[in-house]
Every structure is written in C-alpha cells, then in structure tokens.
Amino acid sequence: MKLGTFLPTTLATATLALSLAVTSAQAQTTPQAEVNATLMADDYIWSGLFSVAVADQIRNECARMDARTFRATRFLYDLYGKARDYGYSRDQIDTFRRDEANQELLRTWVMQYFDQNGVQLDAPETFCALGEAEIAAGTRAGTLLRAR
C-alpha cells in the first residue's frame, strides 16, 4: 500500500474513532435523570416498551399464546437502537430499563390497559381473549404474539 492512500484512510479512521469517543464521553456526562426523561418522552420507545410488556404478560398468563421470539427480539433491538441514536451509552440505557420508578410506571399503565380491556388477573382466559383481539387488530403487542 502506498503511503499516499494509507495516510488519508488512517486519518479518516482516527477522526471517526475520536469523534465516537467524544460522543461517548458526552453521553457519559449526561445525568441519568435526563436520560430517563428523554427516553420516557420518546413515544416510540415508551409505547414500544408498553407493547412488549403487554404481549409478555399475555403470553405468560395464557397457555394458548406464544411469543414471536425473533420478531420481539428484533423489535427490542430497534428500540435499543433508537435510544442509542440519542447518543446514550449501553449502561445508561440499561439503567433506564432497570429503573424501579420506570418499571412501576410501566406496570401501572399495563394494569390500567388490562382493566380497560376486561382482563381479570385471576382468569387466564381473559388474557387469551385480549391476546386474540390484539392479534386480530394487528396492534404492536399483537404482532409480538402467536396463537398456538
């Protein structure tokens, strides 16, 4: 390889690596409360997490429902990528995901949704009925489920 082609390529690579390092350092200095607020305010991310939680609860409570595992995994990676687009690190995103207040709020929303849709926690058949309705309506949660 000639020095003339090696040097610009090496400089471009070094510049890219440096800019990624600076972006990563900036993300690390963002307070977690700001990260949480930003990700919760992003409708695609928050409603996506809600849909995953609804589908997961339905498949756990209804013996006739399975997860569309590949589709769900791909969707979760899509949500993760959207969060990374903000420049946040993996640790910041994981901290957001594990945050007790966020989890409690999501649980509350899911329980309200179940309540509004006639789900009774002690009646698995009601979870099955909602799962079938979600699949039939083509909702995001429904696309993550499969009837056996």
CA distance 124 to 59: 10
pLDDT at 29 (0 to 100): 84
With tokens 């200095």, the residue in question is: 29
Query: In this structure, are 6 and 20 located in the same domain?
Result: yes
Low-confidence ranges of the chain (pLDDT < 70): 1-28
- How confident is the model at residue 66, as a pLDDT? 96
Residues 19 and 45 in one domain: no
Which pLDDT belongs to residue 13?
Answer: 41
Q: Using an 8 Å Cβ cutoff, are 48 and 75 in contact?
A: yes
The domain of 114 spans 31-147
d(CA 36, CA 39) in angstroms, rounded, equals: 5
Does residue 118 sit in the same domain as residue 98?
yes
108 and 47 assigned to the same domain: yes
Q: What's the confidence (pLDDT) of residue 102?
A: 95
53 and 22 co-located in one domain = no
Same domain, 8 and 56: no
Task: Output the pLDDT for position 28.
Answer: 61
Q: What global pTM score does this model have?
A: 0.79
Q: Quote the number of domains for the chain.
A: 2
Residues 4 and 76 in one domain: no
Residue 35's pLDDT is 97
CB-facing half-sphere around the CA of 35: CA atoms within 13 A: 24
C-alpha radius of gyration, the chain, whole number: 21
